[in-house]
Chain A
Amino acid sequence: MHPISVNVFTSDISASSSAAQANLSVRVTVNWSTQDGHKYTHSETANLQAVLRAIPVEDLKAFAMDFLIQQVCQKAFSQTNPKPYTKDGV
């Protein structure tokens, strides 16, 4: 079932970046509904650890948050019952 009205809230963000590694952790809560009127929610803490050159923490948050939010949304949508569905076909 097609997810619509998708709202995400983030919290508990921690980010660090060193010459060797970048770390980002964020609590992501996804609330969405489907066209048949069902409402769903999914919440989890998403983590990213990557071998990156030292980059500003703000840049890390700006770019990596997108990735983690997308990842959590797709995971959440895949759990929608009764018909599992992922918006981007993955």
Chain B
Amino acid sequence: MATYYVGPGGNNANSGLSWALRKLTLAGAEAVVAAGDTVYVGPGTYREQLTCTISGTLGNPITYIGDYFGHFTDGIGGLVRITASDDDETYQQRDGFDLGGFNYRSFIGFSVDVSDSNDPAWQHGCFRVSSVIGAVVNNCYMFNGFRGVMHHAADGFVPGFEVSNCYFDGTIIGISFVDSANLVNNAAIDIYNCIFNNMGRTIARGILFTRIGGAVVRNCSFIALNNGIRSTVALTAGQTMTVNNSMFEKCQVALFGVSGHAGNIAENYNNFWDCTADRTDVNTGANSINLPPYRDPRFFFRLVDNFRLVTPFDLAEYCQFINLPGVSPPAHDMRGTGTIGAHRDWGPLEYDPTLLTASGGIPRSRLIGGV
């Protein structure tokens, strides 16, 4: 199990086995990795599409880590951006990462942007995980892109992937999993602690699924979307997409099911606020509610206060339903904060009252009385 390094100033002729001997591109690392290996990618902008060429194995995935803090690479830190554009004016590549059908691949800590063109030839995504099992996309920020994460197949393949702690900002469809020909049952798709935001087009969906049953969505926020989650074709009887502990705010239709198949989306323990319709052709969860959410705007005040923003996700969303029980929420929120109180809060961010104090480890903004 080797560790490789990639960064600006590297050379693909290097071994990649240390930061000093780093590769220049992700493709350079891909040429040498094997199951169980880890690749640390240093801060910088990488104008390439990584097309995978090898699988990891169960328990020994191949992991690429964008080293935002620089702890393992340059010691300084910064954005690790993968872009499909060569010049920030037009897009030359279709995808950010294309797994190419290879299994057990993990990607952590990247900022990814690709074209959001409506042209079918370009409707790919930041991560293309089509027809794979064991794929993980974690702690990633995706913007533009016709799709953030996509599994598109026509062969009845039963996909398996996890998408967690990710922010989908302006991708036209956040996560799209589609089989265009066959009904697929019991897919192992787990989506949690994600924020879907700012997808204003008529066709914008947080999550779109077609003919694929078995996915679970937990503790996500869907904000200002045309559809939060949409199912387009009736699933096999008994198959569902399960949605729990999530928040839907200002969506046109938060949950959009299939006429005559109101059980396809099985929702419960969710909060809906200010959506034109909470549900279309979806049965109402017995424990779902309608309460106003309140954002914690500290991220803004830190941003304008000499850029002392600790993390772009240093925000919380809370309301009266803090610590209401739910169904199988993840143990930690997208910041890594564990349960505070009796239950894990709904949505991707745990409300942490200790962050309100200077002693909480995060400096207060001068605008609210900090130093």
Contact = CB atoms under 8 A, between A and B. Distances in A.
B265 interface: no
A10 B280 CA distance: 7
Contacts of A9: 259, 262, 280-281
A30 B280 CA distance: 9
A69 B280 contact: yes
Interface residues of A, number: 21
Contacts of A30: 277
A2 to B, nearest CB: 8
B353 interface: no
Contact of B279 (A4, A7, A26, A74): A7
A36 interface: no
Contacts of A74: 276
Contacts of B276: 6, 69-70, 73-74, 87-88
B274 A66 contact: no
A56 B327 CA distance: 39
Contacts, number: 58
B259 A11 contact: yes
B275 interface: yes
A10 B281 contact: yes
A48 interface: no
Contact of B202 (A8, A10, A63): A63
Do most interface residues of chain B lie in helix, strand or loop, or is the interface mixed?
loop
B277 A6 contact: yes
Interface string A57-74: 010001100100110011
Contacts of A69: 253, 276-277, 280
B170 to A, nearest CB: 19
Contacts of A13: 259
Interface in A40-61: 58
A70 B252 contact: yes
Contacts of B202: 63, 66
Contact of A73 (B260, B273, B277): B277
Interface in B282-318: 282, 284, 290
A6 B259 contact: no
A5 interface: yes
B14 interface: no
Contact of A7 (B227, B260, B284): B284
7 contacts: A4-B273, A5-B278, A7-B279, A9-B280, A9-B281, A11-B260, A58-B232
Interface of B: 202-203, 226-227, 232, 252-253, 256, 259-260, 262, 272-282, 284, 290
